[in-house]
Amino acid sequence: MCADVLRTVLSEHEIVICKQVISEVQDVLHRKFHLPQSTITGILELLHRFALAPAQAETAGIHVRDADDIAILASALAANADVLITGDRDLLIIGKYENLRILSPRGFWEMLRSSGRSGPL
C-alpha cells in the first residue's frame, strides 16, 4: 500500500518535505525497519530528488502534542500543501488544520479512489 501511494505521489503530485521529515524517515528506517545504511541512503536520495523544500515555516500559533511535529505541520502549511500524508498518530488525530488535510497513507489512497484517481494497488 505505501509503495503504491509513493508511486502515485511521485508521478502525479509534488512532494514537499522539510528537514524534520528527512531526519524522522532516516531514524525510522534504521530503528524500526533495521534497513542497511546503503538502502536508507538510496531512499533519502530519492526523496531529495523528487521533493520540494518548503519556505521557512512559521510555527507561531501551531499547537500539537509532540513539539517535534510542529515543524512538519508548519512546513506543509507554508508550502500550501493540500494533504499531509503521515503515519504519526499525533498528527493524524488533528485530521485537518486550516485547509490542510492530514491523512494516513490508506486514508490518502481511499481519497484518491473515491475521486476516481487511483493507480496500481
What Cα–Cα distance (Å) separates residue 96 from each residue in 26, 67, 73, 84, 114?
A: 26, 17, 11, 9, 18
Indicate the range of 40-49, 75-84, 108-117 predicted with least confidence: 108-117
What Cα–Cα distance (Å) separates residue 90 from each residue in 53, 58, 87, 112?
A: 22, 19, 9, 23
Q: 95 is written with which cell numbers?
A: 485530521
Average pLDDT, the chain: 88
CB of 65 closer than 8 Å to CB of 94: no
Q: 28 is written with which cell numbers?
A: 525510522
pLDDT at 84: 95
Cα pseudo-dihedral 25, 27, 31, 32, rounded to 10 = -20
List pLDDT tens digits, range 31-45: 999 999 999 999 999
